[in-house]
Amino acid sequence: TCSVDRFLILWKLKTQCRAYRFVGHAEAVTSVQFSPDGQVLASASHDHTVRLWIPCIHGESSVLKGHTASVRSVSFSHDGYSVVSASNDKLIKIWSVCYQRLLFTLFRHTGWVRCAKFSPDGRIIVSCGEDKSVNIWDTRNKICVNSFSDDEGFATFVDFNPSGTCIASAGSNSTVKLWDIRTNKLLQNFKVHRAGVNCISFHPSGNYLITASTDGTLKILDLLGERLIYTLHGHKGPVLSVAFSKGGEKFASGGKDAQVLLWKTNFDTLDYEEVLKHNFRRTHIDDPPHLLDIYPRSSHFHGENLKSVLVNPTFDVPDIQTPNPSVIDIRASSGIST
């Protein structure tokens, strides 16, 4: 986890609770991600830098300098060789993890860039900014090949679905939108929150999407059924981030209340197996999904009448708060050796 307290904290969940606090950034840390193999951590900060960390007791890290303003997001490519960062300097930068140097810079946004993500195959990058645009970039030619715009508000967060054919954007105007990047069509437009949406995360199956909002709730959307299925209360104040675990059996959320909540999913196993059986093409790596078979061909708008189950940890599920863990401070030492 990362926080405005300038620290990264690595939590040990399985045995007696411990927390390893990585010290190095000079200002608030805005984004953190594990590499796909779990061997490296990347973090972004208001101190204008990106850091690469070895998540171990020695705390080696390397500083990547190049941005001239706050870095808002950092994300690994799926092979772990590259990192993409998005900044308030209106630039997107791609860095080599192995050589710890800048590879190239993408510029077209005219406002602060809030988020940038690699596609699953690494061939394209999606980014969003406060200029109200969502841009698609070709990483080989280093050019913007497509752009979606939103007149109602700006996207605060974007990501690809697991198959890479669709992007979802979280909006400052309380909406969540899904776009098919092959047909350039808006597929779904969920209006389920009462305030801006700060973060989204796809379930590994691609069938569910979880959203985190300033209205203090998390919501789980069933993308196949085009419906809201759960509204989750637990944070006291805006929910800033959310992410499914790699297998989808858990997800974690972070809020302005300085709490991290770890949730267990309870999607019906039998139903889920049936979904996989009937949508085998969607999960088969050699046969990319045909989302137009599933989603409506025209733009699909959802009103306020979507029903869902309300879940409040205070009443509905055991709310297990970890006792104060033993915190081990790890100071940033010399750079990572290549």
- pTM reported for the whole predicted model: 0.86
Superfamily of domain 1-107: YVTN repeat-like/Quinoprotein amine dehydrogenase (2.130.10.10)
State how far the Cα of 240 lies from the Cα of 226, in Å rounded to an integer.
24
Q: Domain 150-317, CATH 2.60.120.1090 — does that match? A: no
Indicate if 150-317 has the same CATH topology as 1-107: yes
Four-point Cα dihedral 334, 3, 160, 266, nearest 10: 120
Residue range 133-148, pLDDT digits in tens: 999 999 999 999 999 8
Task: Give 220's strand partners.
Answer: 210, 230
Cβ 17 vs Cβ 323: under 8 Å? yes
- Percent helix, strand and coil across the chain, each rounded to 5? 5, 45, 50
| 37-71 per-residue burial string, b: 16 or more CB within 10 A, e: under 16 | eeebbbbbbbbbbbbbbbbeeebbbbebebbeebb
What is the CB-side half-sphere exposure of residue 85 using CA atoms within 13 A? 36
pLDDT (tens place) for every residue of the chain, 338 residues total? 999 999 999 998 776 678 899 999 999 999 999 999 999 999 999 999 999 999 887 778 899 999 999 999 999 999 999 999 999 999 999 999 999 999 999 999 999 999 999 999 999 999 999 999 999 999 999 999 999 887 678 999 999 999 999 999 999 999 999 999 988 889 999 999 999 999 999 999 999 999 999 999 999 999 988 899 999 999 999 999 999 999 899 999 999 999 999 999 877 554 555 555 554 444 333 334 343 433 334 444 555 556 788 888 777 766 677 777 788 888 876 677 65
CA separation (Å) from 101 to 18, 22, 267? 33, 22, 42
- pLDDT, residue 325, reads 77
Tokens 């979280």 identify what position?
A: 170
The domain ranges of the chain are 1-107, 150-317
Three-state SS annotation for 65-97: ECCCCCEEEEEECCCCCEEEEEECCCEEEEEEC
